Structure 1
Amino acid sequence: MKQIINNYSKCIIIVAIMLIGSMAWAGSLKKTELVCRLKTDRDIFIAGEPQNIVLKVSLDAPAAPADISRPAVNLALVLDRSGSMNGTKIDQAKAAALETLNRLGMQDIFSLVTYDTTIQTIVPARHPSSVQEIIHTIRQIRTGGSTALFGGVSQGAAEIRKNLENEYVHRIVLLSDGLANVGPSTPEDLGRMGAALIKENISVTTVGVGVDYNEDLMARLSQKSDGNTYFVESEYDLPAIFAAELGDVLNVVAKNVKVIITLSDNITPVGIIGREGRIRGNRIELSMNQLYGGQEKYALVEVRLPASKSGSKQTIARADVYYENPFTQKQAQSTGTSQVKFSNNPKQVAESANIDVVREYERNLNAMAQEKAIEFSDKGQKKEAVAELKKSAVKLKAAGARYQDEELLEEAKAIENQARQIEAEGMSKKSRKVLRTQSFQMKNQQLLKKE
């Protein structure tokens, strides 16, 4: 009888331990869920007149929990080895590849493609088990030839596709220091490739080195595939940039993100600010391939409100976010709503401003001004380019002063400096790359890393 009681007690203890473990696991999984928030540029709007307002749909991605294994990565590096990469550039590119390899785990997939006039897969897609063999292969890379960039990315995608059906985070990292001059070579060509790759859940991050690569091409490829983009003036920064990019890729907490914003019946959409998306009646649809832990991604939408009575309330919109949780490999959903009030008191309206929404709205408008300045400069209209930047600086400074926001004031100073530099020297290769990269990073909410 005593033995039976002892066995029964052991069973109770085992079950209790299992339950505690299950609860802890469930608690950890709860920490991986996205939070969707909706805010407008102010909480109270003036009554009695129709008006346009800005709606910010934020996706707050939690930090990846330390007690759950991270999602495995399927990574292809595509390195330019054309003649212009000779010397320290190729040495630092190889160091960056080695840095990347050292940070991967045995559950990950690694491949390496190099290109000049021809394309070569020097490390076919594989788990990084024979590290010394891969290191030796990387160190043997030599330069020479032209720049078959399109073919290099295509081959990198082919290596990714070997494991496409499995539950990996798929990413191509492309490095180039020159103009694509073998095969398809326009921004439109690479944009179409990026749009095709994102349909396979493959994102492309582009790293441009020096001042002779085509930033339009690189940015378009990243934009269409929902990757990151970097301008690296000095090749000595390559290992750090690759490490920062891998930090993002190894920290994915949501995949295949779809956002559907449904406006209330009497509210009409005006436009999407800074992002691509679709407007269908009173529905706005956007997508993002991946979100990284601890990051906020957002979409800004301008909508028009009808005239409303003072003291009344209005539900603006509901946002439904659908995504794949890479820790559970299951579909998940998050929802947020937004409601505003109306008043005849201008002071009350002014004091209800949400500075975080205003700030991101102004910064996105500045990003679009940077793009416009590039267009003017490309047409030989330097005065117009400078005027566009100065006008944006004035708006940023005014908003910064109105809301006493240091971030907007600092950004106004930066854009003023850019305008003065272009006014004095014209649009140099470097300044054009800086403007293009900053604009992309702002609109994509890429975590800005020092280059």
Structure 2
Amino acid sequence: MLKVNLKTHRKRLLADTSGQKLFVLLSIEVAKEVEERGKLFVSFVLDTSGSMNETVNDKSKIEIVVESLKKILESNILKDDDEISIITFDDEAKIVLPFTAATKSEKIFSSFEQIKTGTVGTNLGAGMKVSLDLLKDKAGIKKMVVLTDGNVFDPDQVEKVLDELVFSNISVISVGVGDEWNEDLLCRISDRTLGKPLHLSDVENDSESSSNINVSKLPYVFLNELGHATQEVVMNIEMEIELKDGFSLERITKIFPVQYEIMIENAPYLLGNLESRRRNVYLLEFNIPSMPVSKVEMGKIELYYQVPNADTREKIGPFEIGIEFTKDQLLAVQTDQEVMDWVQQRNIEKIVSEAISQAHKSPEEAEKILGLARSLTIKLKNEDLTALLDKAIEEIRVKKYIGSNVAKTLKIGTKTQLLDHSREDMPTDDDIRKATGR
């Protein structure tokens, strides 16, 4: 059912040397065609505070939201037994539509008339809690789509809901509109729930990219994201890692098709769902103890997962992680370029975050760090992110700061851009450590 590939960034490490790292690339894809997917449950959690009345391209933002929901129903993207629900929130949360089968279009369309802007207030946590209560006991693919254009009034409630979302295997697509919303919070929501963050601009753009889309294109954004959800044929992948004494797991990052950190406080580690036509790629970072000259099986990995309409969980593995320790420095420095490309891709997010934090106190240093990130995106052929970095570099040169809209787009872009491997002239790990001070 699953095709799994493991590859280490080095086959050999130096013997009798402490403080070394080992990066392991884990690729998972569907090995054979799956004829059916699970039932899809999508809950829309929509901001209806007063600011959603603002117009973009002659339509209010709330009108664009309703238009987007209509486009979903008019498309063929949902199966007859798929269900959707709609929750709105401003100073309070309200169920506009409980879960309803996609075939009941008349009932769903009539519910759109209740989606109206209300009072001042952005109680996102309250809206997410109502949505969670509707979703948590459903059996199938569970998605929550959150859309907001303002700062959240109840972040503590959001944090409480997050733990329950993770436990219930509900992933969140979080959409921030404009430049008033808290990108750190929305990114955290998507990271914790193995979802995806998106940024939509509420002003006219000179140019658009996959990370910089006008809110008027929301119908196509919704259709694209739900299209990916309908391709998920393997659900709730979990990983267990058994390591020999002295070896330890430092970090797991999903690096394709969306980048986020996997929580490693408790095992098994939740890796999310898998689409039928796209592989998931993860980067595992291990701390390696000082070892004598030897060949060591340092640990093993096992994966567990579910397929549609199956009562039991499947298992694949174990997959051994082996490493050789040598005194030969020339052998120890040899690296696998593919794995290192993914390591560099992972590092772009950290580099950009460092530049944004430096921008107000040291614009010159921030520009230098952005230049390093730009060189990486060029070598990785990430043209969209290169263009965004060019815009940020130009802005910091002229204004001596990075504006909120550009900063949000950059942060989201580093998590949602795809990788195209490069082989030459990549900045080294030392270059990155020097630029970021880490």
Per the normalisation by structure 2, the TM-score is 0.77
Alpha-carbon distance in structure 2 between the residues aligned to 1:359 and 1:389: 23
Could you give the per-residue CA deviations for residues 81-119 of structure 1, whole angstroms, max 9, x where no partner exists? Answer: 222212422222112212333421222121111223343
Give the gaps of 5 or more residues in structure 1.
1-32
Alpha-carbon distance in structure 2 between the residues aligned to 1:91 and 1:268: 51
Alignment of 1:62-141 (within 5 A): 62=30, 65=33, 68-86=35-53, 87=55, 88=59, 89-101=61-73, 102=75, 103-139=77-113, 141=115
Structure 1 position 263 matched with structure 2 position 246: no
Query: Does the CA contact (< 8 Å) of 1:228 and 1:446 recur in 2?
Result: no
**RMSD of aligned C-alpha atoms?**
3.3
Q: Aligned pair in 2 of structure 1 residues 220, 395: CA closer, same or farther (>3 Å)?
A: closer
Aligned partner of 1:226: which letter?
L
**1:296 CA displacement:** 1.4
Alpha-carbon distance in structure 2 between the residues aligned to 1:410 and 1:109: 34
Match of 2:164 in 1: 196
Secondary structure in 1 aligned to 2:151?
coil
Structure 1 position 304 matched with structure 2 position 288: yes
Match of 1:231 in 2: 199
Could you give the per-residue CA deviations for residues 14-57 of structure 1, whole angstroms, max 9, x where no partner exists? Answer: xxxxxxxxxxxxxxxxxxx2333322112344556445233224
Task: From 336, 342, 345, give the equivalent of 1:363.
Answer: 345
Per the normalisation by structure 1, the TM-score is 0.75
Aligned length: 391
Task: From 294, 306, 310, give the equivalent of 1:324.
Answer: 306
Aligned partner of 2:62: which letter?
I
Q: Aligned pair in 2 of structure 1 residues 40, 213: CA closer, same or farther (>3 Å)?
A: same
Secondary structure in 2 aligned to 1:421?
helix
Query: Does the CA contact (< 8 Å) of 1:211 and 1:429 recur in 2?
Result: yes
Match of 2:272 in 1: 289
Match of 1:387 in 2: 365
Match of 1:244 in 2: 224
Match of 1:19 in 2: none
**1:123 CA displacement:** 1.6
Match of 2:257 in 1: none
Secondary structure in 1 aligned to 2:261?
coil
Q: Aligned pair in 2 of structure 1 residues 95, 413: CA closer, same or farther (>3 Å)?
A: closer
**1:207 CA displacement:** 0.8
Query: Does the CA contact (< 8 Å) of 1:114 and 1:122 recur in 2?
Result: yes
Task: From 108, 111, 132, give the equivalent of 1:157.
Answer: 132
Secondary structure in 2 aligned to 1:106?
coil
Task: From 335, 339, 342, give the equivalent of 2:322.
Answer: 339
Query: Greater share of helix residues, 1 or 2?
Result: 1
Structure 1 position 145 matched with structure 2 position 125: no
Match of 1:168 in 2: 140
Alpha-carbon distance in structure 1 between the residues aligned to 2:344 and 2:374: 7
Aligned partner of 1:175: which letter?
L
Deviates most, 120-129 or 227-236: 120-129
Aligned partner of 1:205: which letter?
I
Secondary structure in 2 aligned to 1:275?
strand
Query: Does the CA contact (< 8 Å) of 1:64 and 1:70 recur in 2?
Result: no
Query: Does the CA contact (< 8 Å) of 1:322 and 1:334 recur in 2?
Result: yes
**1:131 CA displacement:** 0.7
Task: From 287, 294, 297, give the equivalent of 1:315.
Answer: 297
**1:433 CA displacement:** 0.6
Deviates most, 418-427 or 68-77: 418-427
Match of 1:13 in 2: none
Structure 1 position 277 matched with structure 2 position 257: no
Give the gaps of 5 or more residues in structure 2.
202-213, 254-259, 421-438
Deviates most, 236-245 or 322-331: 322-331
Secondary structure in 2 aligned to 1:144?
coil
Alpha-carbon distance in structure 2 between the residues aligned to 1:171 and 1:275: 19
Match of 1:12 in 2: none
Could you give the per-residue CA deviations for residues 386-415 of structure 1, whole angstroms, max 9, x where no partner exists? Answer: 635634753884x899xxx54489967865
Decide which structure has the larger Cα Rg and report it: 1
Alpha-carbon distance in structure 1 between the residues aligned to 2:332 and 2:374: 21
| Same amino acid, percent of matched pairs | 21
Task: From 426, 429, 437, give the equivalent of 2:412.
Answer: 437
